[in-house]
Amino acid sequence: MGQDMAILDILHFPDTRLRNVAKPVAQVDGSVRQLIDDMFETMYAAPGIGLAAVQVNDLRRVIVVDTSEDRSQALALVNPEIIAKQGDESMDEGCLSVPGVYETVQRAAQIRVRALDREGNAIEKDIDGLLAVCIQHEIDHLDGKLFVDYLSNLKRQRIRKKLEKDARQGGDKTQRRRAI
Ligand code: ZN
């Protein structure tokens, strides 16, 4: 971790900037590592278990995740791609960009991910469980997609109204459960 980490502002639904599609990182340089460090700082402070660069209004394809209880499993993925997936998993998801909302989403149970790590090395990993759900959720963010997009229009409208009301009232952004 760098010594000059910063907590970044997280965009909230329905901010249209969350619909931006991130661009591949050409080279994992110091500025990308700084972004990764700042994203970890921001994610842990929220607190959350995953964060995508789009959520902090940076359009590089970078995600950070850590689903451990003791923050010991920090994983940064640059240009992450799901190259294989298998099975179904339904889990309650939350999102740091949709505070206070938790809904069940169906995703693949197991995934194989290809990415660059913080040092720019190519990696491939087989992942399942909560971490697999989390990574699918974060890669969606890089494509401008939110977990509420998997819900019905009616449900999404209700969530939008709730968050707009919360924002008008000064917003309670406290995460009571772990969000990604
Ligand atoms: Zn999210």
Q: What is the pLDDT along the chain (180 residues), one digit of tens a residue?
A: 446 789 999 999 999 999 999 999 999 999 999 999 999 999 999 999 999 999 999 999 999 999 999 999 999 999 999 999 999 999 999 999 999 999 999 999 999 999 999 999 999 999 999 999 999 999 999 999 999 999 999 999 999 999 999 888 876 566 566 677
180 alpha carbon – ligand 1 mean position (Å) = 4
| pLDDT, position 136 | 98
Alpha helices in the chain (DSSP H): 30-45, 129-142, 153-168
Tokens describing residue 41: 């700082």
| pLDDT, position 176 | 60
d(CA 151, CA 173): 22
| pLDDT, position 129 | 96
| pLDDT, position 19 | 98
Q: Please count the helices (runs of H) and the strands (runs of E) in the chain.
A: 3, 5
Entry pTM: 0.93
Residue type, 77: L
149 alpha carbon – ligand 1 mean position (Å) = 11
Dihedrals φ, ψ of 139, to 5°? -65, -35
Tokens describing residue 39: 């994203």
9 alpha carbon – ligand 1 mean position (Å) = 14
Count CB-CB contacts under 10 A for residue 30: 8
- Which one from 41, 93, 103, 138 is the annotated catalytic residue? 138
Known active-site residue 138: yes
57 alpha carbon – ligand 1 mean position (Å) = 13
